[in-house]
């Protein structure tokens, strides 16, 4: 029987998940192996040096560079406030003094009597990394971060935008086919992760933005509305850094598509529980999937990750147009290469959709649904 490796989309009721939490540069790690953490706990922190500002004292006061120390009113490493007078010349008989003010809040980082310039550095900016999910510290990476391990329900979507958020999971629709419209979103959903059925309207998303919803999970969304939301057409770049408010995870694809039965049921089973959500997505090499992670202690139901290999009978989802988001069953995996419209020769899979229609699709355009 033919088999083929493919990316896998996971919908697991309970599994072991490891999350690596790293600083952008070396700093301090605040936990040790074996410590229990909650999602909001700061596991590591550091400080990024602030912006620096060059001030030409010699030129502005019309003095020689070697004389700037006599003109300085502050000392090296001394704190200064914006518009504070930091240097002045002696003037004529005490009059007609020229003064220089600090352009920013910060501290005096350097004085050069060769160039006649000083450097004022803005205060360092604190950077903190939280645990993202509750769990146990399984590994400490010295001066960089930790690896958090948790038992959790894991649901991956096909596409997401927006970064990490967390909050109480609230299912708003009556079933997986219902559209999530703005009438269902209330002020009480601030800081919550709300779940819809087949689709979310753009007006509903904007209302969620105004209220301060943490995240949204829905079966489908309009590509046009997503482009309007982002301000540009979504390409193949990595998502996750968008500053749009609520993280958005689409579980099925573009358009009005009912959420998969198991996905909806798992979300419903975890209604009112605290969840973490991450919209980061990368479909090409180094696949990154948007996810909803809901910690639990149901170790008896732990799923073992399956090999991500498709074969006849595998359930798959198409991850490229023209069938983006559609779920199908693999009927066969022909061994011979097939010439596509682009004139490229690729290996294909014959898949069967729910309406009993068949299509030949490049195997690289498929991902296995692991549940």
The neighbouring-strand residues paired with 80 are 106
* More confident: 308 or 238: 238
Least trusted range by pLDDT, from 18-32, 140-154, 178-192, 340-354: 340-354
Q: Quick: pLDDT tens for 275-312.
A: 999 999 887 656 788 999 999 876 555 554 455 567 78
CA-wise closest residue to 311 among 285, 350, 345: 350
The neighbouring-strand residues paired with 213 are none
The answer to whether residue 195 scores a pLDDT higher than 70 is yes
Alpha helices in the chain (DSSP H): 57-61, 68-71, 202-211, 223-230, 261-269
Percent of the chain with pLDDT over 70: 91
DSSP secondary structure letters along 229-256: HHTS---SSPBS----SSEEEEEEEESS
pLDDT tier, 338 (very low <50, low <70, confident <90, very high otherwise): confident
The answer to whether residue 46 scores a pLDDT higher than 60 is yes
Q: Quick: pLDDT tens for 73-130.
A: 999 999 999 999 999 987 665 566 789 999 999 999 999 999 999 999 999 999 999 9
- The whole-number pLDDT of residue 91 equals 66
The answer to whether residue 346 scores a pLDDT higher than 90 is no
Tokens standing for residue 350 = 């014959």
- The whole-number pLDDT of residue 192 equals 97
Q: Report the alpha-carbon distance of residue 11 to residue 270 in Å, rounded.
A: 13
Average pLDDT over residues 348-360: 87
Question: Nearest 10 degrees: CA dihedral of 287, 290, 295, 296?
Answer: -80
CB 197 within 8 A of CB 173: yes
Return the biggest CA–CA distance within the chain.
Answer: 99
- The whole-number pLDDT of residue 1 equals 43
Tokens standing for residue 304 = 């073992």
Number of H helices, E strands in the chain: 5, 30
pTM for this predicted structure = 0.74
pLDDT tier, 5 (very low <50, low <70, confident <90, very high otherwise): very low
Q: Report the alpha-carbon distance of residue 339 to residue 40 in Å, rounded.
A: 51
């Amino acid at each position: 029987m033919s088999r083929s490796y493919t990316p896998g989309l996971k919908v697991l009721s309970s599994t072991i998940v490891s999350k690596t939490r790293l600083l952008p540069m070396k700093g301090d790690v605040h936990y040790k192996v074996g410590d229990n953490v909650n999602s909001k706990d700061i596991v590591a922190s550091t400080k990024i040096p602030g912006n620096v500002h060059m001030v030409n004292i010699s030129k502005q006061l019309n003095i020689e560079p070697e004389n700037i120390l006599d003109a300085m009113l502050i000392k090296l490493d001394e704190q200064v406030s914006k518009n504070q007078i930091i240097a002045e010349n002696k003037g004529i008989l005490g009059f007609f003094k020229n003064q220089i003010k600090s352009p920013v809040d910060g501290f005096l980082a350097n004085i050069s009597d060769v160039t006649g310039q000083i450097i004022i550095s803005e205060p360092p900016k604190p950077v903190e990394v939280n645990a993202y999910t509750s769990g146990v510290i399984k590994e400490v990476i010295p001066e960089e971060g930790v690896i958090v391990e948790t038992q959790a329900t894991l649901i991956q979507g096909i596409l997401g935008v927006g970064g990490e958020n967390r909050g109480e999971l609230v299912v708003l629709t009556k079933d997986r086919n219902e559209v999530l419209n703005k009438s269902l979103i209330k002020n009480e959903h601030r800081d919550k992760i709300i779940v819809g059925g087949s689709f979310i309207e753009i007006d509903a998303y904007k209302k969620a933005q105004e209220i301060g919803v943490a995240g949204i999970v829905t079966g489908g969304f309009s590509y046009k509305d997503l482009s309007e939301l982002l301000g540009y057409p979504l390409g193949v770049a990595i998502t996750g850094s968008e500053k749009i408010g609520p993280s958005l995870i689409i579980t099925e694809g573009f358009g009005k598509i009912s959420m998969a039965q198991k996905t909806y049921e798992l979300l419903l089973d975890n209604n009112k529980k605290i969840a973490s959500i991450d919209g980061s997505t990368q479909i090409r090499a180094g696949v990154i999937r948007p996810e909803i992670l809901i910690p639990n202690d149901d170790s008896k139901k732990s799923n073992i990750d399956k090999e991500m290999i498709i074969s006849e009978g595998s359930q798959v989802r198409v991850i490229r147009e023209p069938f983006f988001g559609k779920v199908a069953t693999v009927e066969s995996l022909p061994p011979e290469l097939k010439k596509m419209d682009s004139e490229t020769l690729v290996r294909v899979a014959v898949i069967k959709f729910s309406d009993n229609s068949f299509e030949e699709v490049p195997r690289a355009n498929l991902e296995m649904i692991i549940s």
